[in-house]
Amino acid sequence: MSKRIGVIGIVLNNPHAVADKVNSIISGYGQIIIGRMGIPKQEENVGLIALLIEGSTDEVGALTGKLGNIPGVIVKSALTSRQPANKTNA
């Protein structure tokens, strides 16, 4: 199955209520995550997470679907049409 490179943006409304569930789901997809950045905006009671990913559209869809089903979580993804270069064993 072909892989794509992309970004997933996640907004957590009331992060204290949903952070454990969000982190658990993200951890379950660690194999497709290249990088992660999280920014708390405590004065607005919002948390922001950006994930850099490399995975199949099925994997990305499963991850974003699970996250999007959590009340108070907004998820958007952008996948490039560029596929990562094949890695060879040197």
Q: Does some domain include residue 19?
A: yes
DSSP state letter for 25: H
Q: Are 74 and 13 contacting, i.e. CB atoms less than 8 angstroms apart?
A: yes
| Predicted confidence band of residue 84 (pLDDT cuts 50, 70, 90) | low
> Residue 90 falls within a domain, yes or no?
no
| Domain coverage including residue 28 | 4-79
Tell me how many degrees the CA angle 13-18-23 measures, rounded to the nearest 5: 115
Confidence of residue 90 (pLDDT cuts 50, 70, 90): very low
pLDDT in tens, 36-83: 999 999 999 999 999 999 999 999 999 999 999 999 999 999 998 766
In a domain, 85, yes or no: no
Instruction: Say yes or no to pLDDT of 86 above 80.
Output: no
User: With contact defined as beta carbons under 8 Å apart, do 82 and 3 qualify?
Assistant: no
The enclosing domain of 17 has a CATH number of: 3.30.70.1150
Q: What pLDDT score was predicted for residue 55?
A: 94
CB count within 10 Å of CB 13 equals: 14
**Total structural domains within the chain:** 1
Record the tokens describing residue 46, joined without a space: 């919002």
- Tell me if 19 sits within 8 A of 11, measured CB to CB: no
pTM for the whole structure: 0.86
